[in-house]
Amino acid sequence: MAVTSPDTPMIIPAKAQAGLLQFYKANANLQLQHWNIKQQMREIDLLYMREHDWTLANQRAKIANRYGDSSKLQNITVPVVMPQVENGVTYLASVFLTGNPLFGVVSSPEYEDAALQMESLIDQQATYGGWVRELMMFFRDGLKYNLAALEVTWNTEVTYAIESDVTYSPIEGKQKQVIWAGNCIRRHDPYNILFDTRVDPVDIPSKGEFAGYVELMGRVALKQFLARLPSRMNVTSAFESGVGGGGNSATYYIPQLNPDALLNRNLRATTNWLTWAGLESSDGTPRINYKGIYEVTTLYARIIPSDFGLRVPSDNTPQVFKLIIVNGSVLVYAERQTNAHQLLPMLFSQPLEDGLAYQTKSFGSNVAPIQSVTSGMLNSVIAARRRAISDRTVYDPSRINESDINSDNPSAKIPVRPAAYGKNVAEAVYAFPYRDDQSPQILQEIGAFNSWANIITGQNQAQQGQFVKGNKTLHEYADVMQHASGRSQMMAMLQETQIFTPLKMILKVNILQYQTATSVYSKAANKEVTIDPVALRQAVMDFQVSDGLIPTDKLINSDAFTVAMQAFSTSPMIASAYNVAPMFSYLLKTQGANVKPFEKSAAQVAFEQAMGQWQQQVNNLAANMKNMAPGDIQKSLAALPQPKPADFGYNPQAPSQPTNVVKPSILDQVLAVAGQTAGQSQGQGQQQPSQQQPPTQGNQNA
């Protein structure tokens, strides 16, 4: 993780450090004072993973199956929570994460270039930072726990590029360090987040006093992490501190969920770094007493600096600070946030919000009882199968040994005791008759209960990819699906308001505040785009999310689309009143086809029109050549020069790139004016006012 460079890192006095650490410890335990939120989330995860059954019979059957005994039947947990959650994640992902680019930017025509710059920047940052992955996990957290956290920051990172090294023959690629800066989005583990529980989750960025998260780092990882910070404090004390130091109880939590995990890692395992690889000093020189693992807390706090004795501008006004604390006891970094949005850069989501804050049940919790009931019903059927296999028997222990009648060998012979000699053996054993009248009915009832889960979550079988019987036309099916997905659309609309509206605002504000001049490649425009930060700050633009949130039929009906296309092609009056080509591209885009990259440029259209007129005039001349004198023919041909592409600024090899028009960016113009002003100031002492030249055309344009 890289740290924001545009903000203001600080060296905090010892007394202020103690106050900030006390502030952190008090707030870290605030969310644990009333209920164990981590245990609540663990219960949901056990239901999600179907690992809630720890009964003795089930564990014995599981162990027997592991040893190859398939005759023992395990209990089955009917999957209800996981499919419902995943279907919700699929819907939200299809709404918000399938667009290209991820966030489109729209503006008026005069700011079209600036909108393309903003869109290209965000697309490049989304690809570099893997935003789709982070947002997908964020959606899953929200549907499982009805609580999810997302960090949005402007980071600078050292990355690498390849350049050609001409000193070698043949020319080789050479690694070159470059600085990457941009918006970063990170989803954080809900088990290890800290937040102000006194306000509703969605209000934490604007009204909460603190929000943060805890991470585990090894010795090397912590060294790399601290090296990236613009400044740091108490480094030695941080490396020598132990996990959970300072009496802090809000330590990193690792839930134990899957007993059959591919790898059960002990993340708290430690290494003696003084003896490993011979790092122990032989001459008695003191060395840092490194630990094997460290808990690193990043906390965003809205504080009044004067309360802690911090001398900063407007120290009596609430300000956002970023604090990094190692093992809950050592403050290594403090930074005054100067971003223009003035929010805690952690966004919190509740996909189901009804005004009850933390009491609202999550998407998964709502269907948990259905999973428990249907699992109990199905396991009664399995119990009936066990009963059919093992049977229930009454026997006389004076005639038959217990070990003989309970033998696992199905073909074993059972001897009788001497007391049974000469007597009817049937009198010593009685097998209860087996009847199973309930299993078929139970299996039907399980299907009914699962349909109730769909009613609870607002989903249906068609949304889950299942076949639904019934003869319906295409429009009838589309109408049914539009109404069936109404509740999912409401949830998506809530996500748009809770998360994506402030997220897009933070992304835009960060770019306008921190972005410098650079060049990025635009996949949408299929060309390199020069970023002009001055033009970005002057433009008026907004984001547009036009995926599944608004159905396509609401944007434009398919029948109306067909009629419109026919009207444009058959009515010259309508065609003359509109710019038909851009409108045609727009209408096709509403139907999912983006043909704008194939539109002809204005220069190409002008050239082709001129060529058409020239060809018509040449054809007319050819028709009249029989009645014309040779001299008149030569004069007429000379008066009809063939149009050339260069006359119209059109390059047939690159139709979208005018060859004779080079428009300087606003930043270039500002720098040019600044350079000319400086030159005039230097030469003004040597030049009389009467000798000054009038401004050139270039200066007037600038």
- Per-residue pLDDT of 53-75, as tens digits, reads 888 888 998 999 999 988 788 89
Report pLDDT digits (tens) over 645-673.
888 888 876 645 433 344 555 556 555 65
Q: Is the distance from CB of 655 to CB of 600 less than 8 angstroms?
A: yes
What is the number of structural domains in the chain? 4
Query: What pLDDT, on a 0 to 100 scale, did the predictor assign at position 615?
Result: 85
- Give the orientation angle of helix 81-96 with respect to helix 37-49, to 10 degrees: 100
Q: Is residue 318 part of a domain?
A: yes
Residue range 128-132: mean pLDDT, rounded: 93
- Is the domain of 166 the same as that of 62? yes
Are 35 and 18 part of one and the same domain?
yes
If asked whether residues 346 and 378 sit together in one domain, one would say no
Q: Is residue 80 part of a domain?
A: no
Shared domain check, 355 and 377: no
pLDDT at 521: 86
% pLDDT > 90, the chain? 29
pLDDT for residue 210: 95
pLDDT at 546 over 50: no
User: The pTM is what?
Assistant: 0.77
Domain that holds residue 45: 8-67+131-258+277-366
- How far is the C-alpha of 180 from the C-alpha of 228, rounded, in Å? 13
433/617 Cα distance (integer angstroms): 105
Question: Does 688 have pLDDT greater than 50?
Answer: no
**Separation of alpha carbons 206 and 300, rounded Å:** 12
Residue 234 carries which side chain, given as an amino acid letter?
N
Output the pLDDT for position 699: 39
Give 35 or 180, the one with higher predicted confidence.
Answer: 180
Is 40's pLDDT higher than 80? yes
Give the pLDDT of residue 5.
46
Same domain, 330 and 251: yes
Percentage of the chain beyond pLDDT 70 is: 77
* 233, part of any domain: yes
Which DSSP helix (H) or strand (E) runs through 504?
A: helix 501-514
Q: Where are the beta strands (DSSP E) in 413-548?
A: 429-431, 518-522, 527-531, 541-544
pLDDT at 244: 54
pLDDT band at 685 (very low <50, low <70, confident <90, very high): very low
Reported as a pLDDT band with limits 50, 70 and 90, residue 417 is confident
pLDDT above 80 for 472:
no
Q: How far is CA 58 from CA 242, 255, 369, in A?
A: 41, 22, 20
**385: pLDDT strictly greater than 50:** yes
Q: Are both 242 and 388 inside the same structural domain? A: no
Higher pLDDT, 72 or 167: 72
Please say which residue of 427, 445, 479 terminates a domain: 479
Sequence-distant (≥ 6) Cβ neighbours of residue 41 within 8 angstroms: 144, 145, 190, 191, 255
Between CA 702 and CA 697 the distance in angstroms is 9
Residues 238 and 184 in one domain: yes
Give the relative orientation of helices 37-49 and 131-145 as an angle to the nearest 10 degrees: 100
pLDDT in tens, 422-453: 788 787 888 877 778 788 888 888 888 888 88
For the cut 90, the answer to whether the pLDDT of residue 632 exceeds it is: no
Same domain as 350, residue 294: yes
Local structure of 477: helix, strand or coil: helix
Segment of 465-469, 509-513, 653-657 carrying the highest mean pLDDT? 509-513
- Answer whether residue 576 is part of any domain: no
> Where is the domain boundary, 429, 448, 479?
479
Residue 553 has pLDDT above 50, yes or no: no
User: Which tens digits make up the pLDDT trace of 559-602?
Assistant: 666 677 777 777 777 777 777 777 777 666 655 566 666 777 77
The residues pairing with 165 across neighbouring beta strands, listed in sequence order, are 172
Whole-number Å distance between alpha carbons of 491 and 94: 13
In a domain, 664, yes or no: no
Does 394 lie in the same domain as 451?
A: yes
pLDDT at position 700 over 50: no
Q: State whether 207 and 250 are in the same domain.
A: yes
Supply the mean pLDDT for the chain: 79
Whether residue 336 is contained in a domain is answered as yes
Task: Answer yes or no: do 316 and 427 share one domain.
Answer: no
Sorting pLDDT into bands at 50, 70 and 90, what band is 290? confident
pLDDT at 297: 94
Tell me, yes or no, whether 433 lies in a domain.
yes
Mean pLDDT of 308-325: 91
- Evaluate if residue 136 carries a pLDDT over 50: yes
- Closest by CA to 91, choosing from 547, 500, 594, is 547
75-109 confidence digits (pLDDT tens): 999 999 999 999 999 999 988 888 778 888 877 77
Instruction: Let me know whether 324 and 397 are in one domain.
Output: no
Q: Is the pLDDT of residue 547 over 50?
A: no
Residue at which a domain ends, from 479, 495, 515:
479
| Of 77-86, 226-235, 610-619, the least confident | 610-619
Residues 6+ apart with CB under 8 A from 697: none
Smallest Cα–Cα separation from 88: which of 140, 146, 138? 140
- Note whether residue 437 is domain-resident: yes
